[in-house]
């Protein structure tokens, strides 16, 4: 068969070389309960029209964020993305371009990545940024691995305000690296607990602001405590739009800043693809993972761009590589750069102010409805106490209101089943907020 070119003899030879008795031996570490022996319950074939109808019916089960009041956040945010962004990224020279290894034919792509890096460095207040990561969570994990290389220590402290998915991703990768991960208990405001946990064995401290509960924290005191112990401070941001209004990680003493860039230029897209931002101080640049584009001049003295300081496994021996990330989210990074260029500094601040204003209106409306707000300082997201948060969200969905994310969906074991996360952005209207408050009032009494 043209799509399965290996013969039984080829497979037997490969198994012999690696010392496996049979194909099943390759999956010995996968629990038997997770393996499926038979085919999935799907038709083996169908005509084009039948397939189109089936997939259309499945698609109709989804609800678009713009179909009504929508208050989901928790790491992925609904923002307005100008039509210009989508138009430009679909130009063939962008949509079909891939790896810019040959600078003589990839100057456009390289320049875009250089501009992206410049924007990320400016937003984070740090010296140098790379040409993107897969997403925010993997960028967080890579930052912890980088801190291990820099400090030659094995322990990382994860704040209780860090998004549980980011913490889980970091734990998974750190386990393979033999690191000790101290994951603190979920906390609305985690500053004091983080500072208390830092000791002489700490490689890095990972904090998030605004954190998963929406709490905004000036992490300068945490930075001072970390640096006094010889540790690095990693600041995580899941809502990139907050950079338009809040202090940058660099201003607060961060050594490394990572973020999810989805909020700028990229729609929710049912969860991806997204784009991870990664920036650091210049003295750490040789330990940064991923791609780095640099500016140079050609033989005639003209400005040009190249990949530089290559520390990826595709360029050097695997045991010397800082990361095995094999690509970057180029198209999403391009969308980020286009949207941010359209906004400019004044526009970004304006959108950020609109986000905060909507969130303040939402908070006031919820308090007026008798709902307890838990988040003390916020940008565009708050946590509230809502008994039976998961079932409450399902009830409100019947009214056409997507009332946020129950924290129990992010961390089922935290014991915070009565906490609901709600976000308001520039796309949220006064009518949306009024409908949410009325719905909560009816169900919570």
- Asked: is 83-339 a CATH 3.40.640.10 domain? The reply is yes
Largest CA distance in the chain: 75
Which residue intervals of the chain bear CATH 3.90.1150.10?
Answer: 66-79+344-444
- Residues 17-45: pLDDT tens digits? 999 999 889 888 999 888 888 888 877 88
Query: 205 or 33: which carries more pLDDT confidence?
Result: 205
Taking residue 6's Cβ as centre, other Cβ atoms within 10 Å add up to 9
Q: Is omega for the bond preceding 292 within 30 degrees of 0, making it cis?
A: no
The candidate with the shortest Cα–Cα distance to 146, out of 198, 195, 204, 197, is 204
Q: What is the mean pLDDT of residues 383-398?
A: 96
Return d(Cα 88, Cα 81) in angstroms, integer.
Answer: 12
**E strand spans, 252-351:** 256-260, 276-280, 293-297, 303-307
Report the range out of 26-40, 101-115, 273-287 with the highest average pLDDT.
Answer: 273-287
At the top level of CATH, which class does the domain 66-79+344-444 belong to? Answer: alpha beta
Residue 217 has pLDDT above 60, yes or no: yes
Residue 262 has pLDDT above 70, yes or no: yes
The candidate with the shortest Cα–Cα distance to 189, out of 213, 165, 169, 153, is 213
Q: Which residues pair with 421 in a beta bridge?
A: 383, 405
Q: Which two tokens stand for residue 413?
A: 């074991």
- Phi, psi torsion values for 296, nearest 5 degrees: -150, -170
Return d(Cα 156, Cα 233) in angstroms, integer.
Answer: 10
**214-249: string of b/e by CB count within 10 Å (b at 16+)?**
bbbbebeebbebbeeeebbbbbbbbbbbbbbbbbbb
The candidate with the shortest Cα–Cα distance to 108, out of 87, 89, 84, is 89
- Phi, psi torsion values for 90, nearest 5 degrees: -90, 0
pLDDT at 323: 78
pLDDT at 314: 56
Q: What is the mean pLDDT of residues 155-184?
A: 96
Query: How far is CA 196 from its chain centroid?
Result: 27
pLDDT at 9: 93
Residue 445 has pLDDT above 80, yes or no: no
- Per the rule left: phi > 0, alpha: psi between -120 and 50, beta: everything else, 173 is alpha
pLDDT at 313: 56
Q: If you write DSSP's letter for every residue of 68-108 in order, what string do you get?
A: S-B---TT-------HHHHHHHTSHHHHT------GGG-HH
Return d(Cα 88, Cα 14) in angstroms, integer.
Answer: 46
The candidate with the shortest Cα–Cα distance to 371, out of 418, 412, 414, 327, is 418
Residue 237 has pLDDT above 80, yes or no: yes
Q: Which two tokens stand for residue 412?
A: 């089922």
Among 2-6, 28-32, 55-59, 78-82, the minimum mean pLDDT is found in 2-6
Strands 381-385 and 372-373: antiparallel
- Residues 289-347: pLDDT tens digits? 988 999 999 899 999 999 888 765 556 666 777 876 766 688 999 999 999 999 999 99
Which residue intervals of the chain bear CATH 3.40.640.10?
Answer: 83-339
* Residue 356: band (very low, low, confident or very high) from pLDDT cuts 50, 70, 90: very high
Return d(Cα 240, Cα 275) in angstroms, integer.
Answer: 11
**Considering the entire predicted model, what is its pTM?**
0.90
- Residues 48-77: pLDDT tens digits? 999 999 999 999 998 899 999 999 999 999
Torsion sign over Cα 294, 296, 298, 303: positive
The candidate with the shortest Cα–Cα distance to 424, out of 376, 366, 382, 389, is 382
Residue with tokens 């520039």: 426
Q: Which two tokens stand for residue 312?
A: 């990826």
């Amino acid at each position: 068969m043209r799509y399965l070119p290996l013969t039984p003899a080829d497979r037997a030879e490969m198994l012999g070389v690696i010392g496996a008795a049979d194909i099943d031996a390759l999956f010995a570490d996968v629990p038997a309960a997770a393996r499926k022996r038979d085919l999935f319950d799907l038709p083996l074939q169908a005509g084009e029209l039948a397939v189109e109808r089936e997939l259309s019916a499945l698609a109709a089960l989804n609800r678009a964020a713009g179909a009504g009041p929508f208050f989901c956040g928790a790491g992925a945010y609904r923002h307005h993305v100008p039509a210009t962004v989508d138009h430009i990224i679909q130009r063939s020279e962008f949509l079909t371009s891939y790896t810019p290894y040959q600078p003589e034919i990839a100057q456009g792509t390289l320049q875009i990545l250089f501009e992206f890096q410049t924007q990320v460095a400016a937003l984070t207040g740090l010296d140098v940024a790379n040409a993107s990561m897969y997403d925010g969570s993997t960028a967080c994990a890579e930052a912890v691995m980088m801190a291990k290389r820099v400090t030659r220590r094995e322990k990382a402290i994860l704040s209780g305000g860090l998004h549980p998915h980011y913490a889980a991703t970091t734990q998974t990768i750190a386990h393979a690296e033999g690191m000790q991960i101290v994951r603190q208990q979920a906390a609305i405001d985690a500053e004091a607990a983080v500072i208390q946990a830092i000791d002489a064995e700490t490689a890095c401290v990972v904090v998030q602001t605004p954190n998963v509960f929406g709490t905004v924290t000036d992490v300068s005191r945490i930075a001072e405590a970390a640096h006094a112990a010889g540790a690095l401070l990693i600041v995580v941001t899941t809502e990139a739009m907050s950079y338009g209004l809040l202090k940058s990680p660099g201003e607060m003493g961060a050594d490394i800043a990572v973020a999810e860039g989805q909020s700028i230029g990229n729609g929710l897209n049912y969860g991806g693809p997204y784009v991870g931002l990664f920036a650091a101080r210049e003295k750490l640049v040789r330990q940064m993972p991923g791609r780095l584009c640099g500016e140079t001049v050609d033989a005639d003295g003209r400005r040009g761009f190249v990949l530089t300081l290559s520390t990826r496994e595709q360029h050097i021996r695997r045991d010397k590589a800082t990361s095995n990330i094999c690509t970057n989210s180029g198209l999403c990074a391009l969308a980020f750069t286009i949207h941010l260029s359209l906004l400019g500094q004044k526009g970004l601040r304006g959108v950020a102010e609109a986000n905060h204003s909507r969130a303040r209106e939402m908070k006031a409306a919820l308090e007026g409805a008798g709902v307890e707000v838990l988040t003390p300082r916020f940008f565009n997201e708050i946590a509230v106490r809502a008994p039976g948060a998961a079932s409450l969200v399902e009830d409100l969905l019947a009214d056409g209101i997507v009332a946020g994310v129950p924290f129990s969906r992010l961390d089922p074991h935290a014991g915070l089943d009565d906490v609901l996360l709600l976000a308001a952005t520039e796309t949220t209207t006064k009518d949306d907020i009024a409908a949410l408050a009325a719905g909560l009032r009816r169900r919570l009494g």
